[in-house]
Amino acid sequence: MSNDLIYKSAKELLGLFQRKEASPVEAIRAVLERVEERDKDINAFILVDEESALAQARDSEERWSNGNPKGLLDGVPISIKDMFLTKGWPTLKGSLTIDPKGPWEEDAPCVARLREHGAVIFGKTTMPEFGWKGVGDCELTGITRNPWNLDKTPGGSSGGASAALAARMGPLAIGGDGGGSIRIPSSLTGVFGIKANYGRVPMYPEGPMRNLTHAGPMTLTVEDAALLLTAISEPDYRDWTRLVYNNEDFTDGLDKGVAGLRIAYSPDLGYAEVDPSVRKAVDAAAKVFEALGANVEEKAPGFENILSIFRTHWGVGAAGALGSLPEIEKAKLEPALREFVEKGREIPLRDYTDAMTRRAELCVHMRHFHRDYDLLLTPATAVPAFDVGDRSLPNPDALRGDSDWHPFSYPFNLTQQPACSIPCGFTEAGLPIGLQIVSDSFREDLVLRAARAFEIAAEVSTLPPGY
């Protein structure tokens, strides 16, 4: 039974615990065994704490035995991206500049909510240094690889989280998204990831990119993501930007379907270059929504390439966070990141204020767009997973050069809208392709409904060959 548990969703595990057909201890032992078996090849984890995980699981097992489970996720294993504070564990953010000695005395809001809901937090996943790029490597932890093909990147910056999920090293993960960092790796590894509206999931401390960065669920099923989002959206007094909490339950209405919804489909946003295999898969996905009764129209949202706006915000944020490091510490940064920080310090105030103005205009533009359309469909990335360390694509070293291989993600960090990536097909080489679903502000319910309807109708496999 224990080996089978790694293939169970969080919802399925909770059902097994309730019926006493499996225990939280069995579930975490199965996950830990899987990590031991697979992670030596994938390198998804920077930290795994077996002792702590087993202790949490035993506590959960006792609660289930007494018929008194705790919260929504009691006993379910979950990993945390190493950008989020975890009490008692280092949070190194992929960087040699952070002292692992700490002290590490508090949890990030999402981690605190997970503890309150009884989840078994067993480890922390890898990320590129300070999450600055969309691939999964750094000098601290090395290269993280894609379970679908170990020569390929899982994407980033939540690449460790997505790789762990794809390899069935746990059913749930917490990722972070400042420019696509949940959706990019979800797309490249064939898992589900959602960036909720900014402010929905409390953040603390405020990240260097401030109101661009979102915490969010990464899962194998839409149902699990809705459940996880419900838990981590609960308020935290430390986040002064959080939305008003109205006891949201994102599992409510999940199966209402998409019949009658007005959906715009844009395969390229009107300007992006898209790999033919990606275009073919998302074209087919759009037709699924038509078959489900939605009113689908091919329609670009009507804004020009806004990469320069994003780069300016990102550059100023990076410079603010890292530009004042002592030279001895700055020398430890990845050379390309160090160069990017220095360029960020040179951005004139006028350029930054202009970028903020253009960002505001983009937000208003999208609010107008969503008066006519409930949802927007796009590819999640313009290309499938590419070789680790590859520089043959249009400058995959994003933010220094051209990030046109993921042009669909960062616009919706600027607008703060809910957006997800859901698996929608494969290349001829068998690599996963992701579909992005975007809603108007504050309408995570529509994103999740649409993703759930597509998940059921399309039946796209999320299990890599051999797993």
**Which of the following is catalytic: 8, 81, 93, 152?**
81
- Six-digit token pair at 79? 């990993």
- Six-digit token pair at 267? 């395969």
d(CA 80, CA 91): 10
Coil, strand or helix at 79: strand
**Which of the following is catalytic: 95, 157, 409, 439?**
157
d(CA 215, CA 217): 7
Q: Which amino acid is at 369?
A: F
Q: What Cα–Cα distance (Å) separates residue 15 from each residue in 5, 137, 177, 181, 452?
A: 12, 37, 30, 31, 20
d(CA 173, CA 162): 8
Other Cβ atoms within 10 Å of 414 Cβ, number: 22
Dihedral through CA 127, CA 132, CA 136, CA 140, nearest 10? -50
What is the total residue count of the chain? 467
**Which of the following is catalytic: 60, 79, 95, 181?**
181
Which helix (DSSP H) or strand (DSSP E) does residue 426 occupy?
strand 419-426
Q: Are strands 375-379 and 419-426 parallel, antiparallel or unpaired?
A: unpaired
d(CA 418, CA 420): 7
d(CA 454, CA 456): 5
Coil, strand or helix at 19: helix
d(CA 74, CA 65): 12
Is 157 considered catalytic here?
Answer: yes
What phi and psi values does residue 403 have, to the nearest 5 degrees?
A: -105, 35
d(CA 10, CA 16): 10
User: 267 Cβ partners below 8 Å, 6+ apart?
Assistant: 274, 279, 282, 283, 298, 378, 379
Q: What is the CA radius of gyration of the chain?
A: 21
Is 181 considered catalytic here?
Answer: yes
How far apart are the two ends of the chain, measured CA to CA in Å? Answer: 16
Coil, strand or helix at 319: helix
Q: What Cα–Cα distance (Å) separates residue 156 from each residue in 144, 182, 183, 268?
A: 10, 7, 9, 21
Other Cβ atoms within 10 Å of 268 Cβ, number: 17
Catalytic amino acids?
Answer: 81, 157, 181
